[in-house]
Amino acid sequence: AFIWTEAGGMIGLGDLTGADFISSEATAVSADGSVVVGNSDSAGKAFMWTEETGILSLEDLLFDQGIDITGWNLNWASDVSSDGRTIVGWGYNPDGDTEAWKITLGAAPVPVPSTFWLFGGGLIWLEGIRRKRVF
């Protein structure tokens, strides 16, 4: 995954594993380009990227907010809203079934990691949409 800016050209967003071999794929970007979502192939997890936070696992983001997603695997982020606050994708629920999910962020698109606790656990909700098979 990468972004392109006039000033910096092509800039790699990294990978969730932190490995030298970058294996991530951007699938969507907010209207102003400040939020990028996608999948880390090597980690098998959905991610979100902002300039402030860098690449973050959506599972870790939810955990840091105090949201219990035990048993869930958020494998793929497929789209983000134009304002960067709503992310949708698919993964596996605690029963092991493929299921679509939706995450709605609070007032700030993405809190800086050091301020996660200031925003509280109520800013993010994980909503199962409908069970859906993805082929």
Structure confidence by residue, pLDDT tens digits, 24-81: 899 999 999 999 999 988 778 999 999 999 999 999 999 988 888 999 999 999 999 9
Beta strands per DSSP E along the chain:
2-5, 9-12, 24-29, 36-40, 45-50, 54-57, 73-80, 86-92, 98-104, 125-131
Region of 4 on the Ramachandran plot (φ > 0 left; ψ -120 to 50 alpha; else beta): beta
Query: What was the pLDDT predicted at 105?
Result: 85
Confidence (pTM): 0.73
- Cα(35)–Cα(84) distance, integer angstroms: 6
1-15, pLDDT tens digit by residue?
878 888 888 888 888
More confident residue, 48 or 22: 48
Neighbours of 50 (CB within 10 A): 17
Query: What was the pLDDT predicted at 126?
Result: 41
Look at the block and give the residue holding tokens 């299921």: 99
The identity of residue 10, as a single letter, is: M
